[in-house]
Amino acid sequence: MALKILLAQFNFLVGDIEGNCEKILSCIHDAREKHNVNCVVFSELALIGYPPEDLLFREKINLRIHKAVQRLIGASTGVTIIVGAPWESESALYNAALIIQNGCIKDIYFKAALPNYNVFDEKRYFSSGEDACVVEVGDINLGITICEDIWLAEPVRLSKQAGAEVIVNINASPFHVGKQKQREETLSKRIKENSLPILYVNQVGGQDELVFDGASFVLDKNGNKIAQAKPCAEDGILLEIDSKTKFITPILSALDNYQENNLAMTYQVLMYGLREYINKNNFNGGVIGLSGGIDSALVLALAVDALGAGKVHAVMMPSKYTSNMSLQDAQQLATNLNVKYSVIKIDPLVTAFENSLASLFEGIEKDTTEENIQARIRGVLLMAISNKFGNMVISTGNKSEMAVGYATLYGDMAGGFAPLKDVPKMLVYELSRYRNSIGKVIPERIIERPPSAELAPDQIDEDSLPPYEILDQILELFIEQDVSRDEIIAKGFDKEEVSRVIKMVFQNEYKRRQAPPGVKITQRAFGKDRRYPITSGAIKYLQEK
């Protein structure tokens, strides 16, 4: 006899316990009716979605979870359901996997390893479990683990000691570049230590700045990948496990079509995260301020790929400093992508602002104040269009700019979502070339010309910043790798330049706190992934040491 098991990679909406339950019930029904499945496995905290954050503190959450679980119990005749949910036991809350079988909860596993770093805050909400959980399903002993458990040796070792023959690991594991390779290498270590196959089930979907890329997979007891689900899509892996030999046979899997390419995957994740944010927050589409520069060009391409051309509105807002080249390139890009394109000249509005402030600013030299007024006028216009038509303003700033504050608060930082927020400038160029390799939509001149905010005569970014090739390297070392100032200098970077960049990073924390969320793609993104105080005396020590 063989155990037929479905690993269900689904997109759950945080807080929508009833809707998530309906999705789970529908999957169970289809799995049983269409594939005669004995067991269906869902992802970590599937019933409430991940991460639920402080929703877990709401009084009625526990009652809603119990009502949903009762519905799953009623659907469990002839099928075992393994599903993630928050679960209260003896006045403590746990990140749990419920094993529901033949009209009852057969067992419950409480997650042992609670991550409390980067984007994770599980110790704020959950208590740690201590015991292994091994459940017999179809004459096979399944050892149940949850996400972080698999990154440590002890939980799997305890499962094997308790009699596990196959490890089931349910996850809500967010994407960053290279994450899938890390997952597979980690699971390979557990397999070498225990000689047990591992079924890895991951959540899929966008949740604020996090993208759960799915890409669930199965490794046999020799560490060979034998099944793979699609990334960034709801999918399933259907398996048969022989009860005597424990040999696993994939029946349904996307393994043959799966090719890991970091650049292609990054583009897909950015597109997916943008689509998820707009759709889950019920916007009609997106509106983008198009400048003729590379950042807004890439964002427009992402938006069209994510939402469709009919749901994207591009708005060019030229001033007297906007070059004809920018106007031509923006028009060509909008034409190539077949989007609605509007031009609103801002010179009359700039004049009105300057006249209103003239008496107050009399006798004071012009500076970045006048430049920022232009950016803020554009922000107001975009927000007005958003209000009128229900399209979210998609911000176009990149990680390099956000890091050093090369952006205008309430101007080009205005918006609901910033898909490039965690994308360094040099990667913007790579992604733009990648997009053109699929279909050439971004005019080559946009990619080749020096970047400029065009807020002053003959302005280019390098007037205010180090070359992006240098800046991005310094920022990666300091922000993502926590390398000290002196260590960065020792790698060959200019002392004054490093000090200036670090100072800009800290001085502009207040701006980043007011920036829209954006897709996390690196190992240290701005937002909940990197938490520094706005008011801090640490900068003088970080510069000196």
Report, as residue numbers or ranges, the catalytic residues.
44, 111, 147
Angle between the N-to-C axes of helices 425-438 and 294-307, in degrees from 0 to 180, rounded to the nearest 10 = 50
Q: Going by C-beta distance under 8 Å and a sequence separation of 6 or more, which residues neighbour residue 309?
A: 337, 338, 339
Pick from 294, 542, 489: nearest CA to 397: 294
Alpha helices in 91-151 (DSSP H): 122-125
Residue type at 39 in one-letter notation = C
61's tokens: 């959450």
431's tokens: 């992604």
401's tokens: 């700019």
Dihedral sign for Cα atoms in the order 457, 460, 462, 464? positive
* Contact predicate 72/100, CB 8 Å: yes
Q: How close are the terminal C-alpha atoms of the chain, in Å?
A: 66
Peptide bond into 424 cis (omega under 30): no
Cα separation of 258 and 302, whole Å? 22
* Contact predicate 371/455, CB 8 Å: yes
8's tokens: 């269900």
Cα separation of 178 and 482, whole Å? 19
Cα separation of 526 and 415, whole Å? 16
Angle between the N-to-C axes of helices 425-438 and 262-280, in degrees from 0 to 180, rounded to the nearest 10 = 90
Strands 285-290 and 391-393: what pairing?
parallel
Cα separation of 57 and 515, whole Å? 27
Cα separation of 330 and 75, whole Å? 55
Strands 248-252 and 340-343: what pairing?
unpaired
Q: Going by C-beta distance under 8 Å and a sequence separation of 6 or more, which residues neighbour residue 9?
A: 43, 201, 202, 203, 204, 214, 216, 229, 230, 234, 235, 236, 237
226's tokens: 């034998």
CA 453 to the chain's CA centroid = 27
Q: Going by C-beta distance under 8 Å and a sequence separation of 6 or more, which residues neighbour residue 496?
A: none
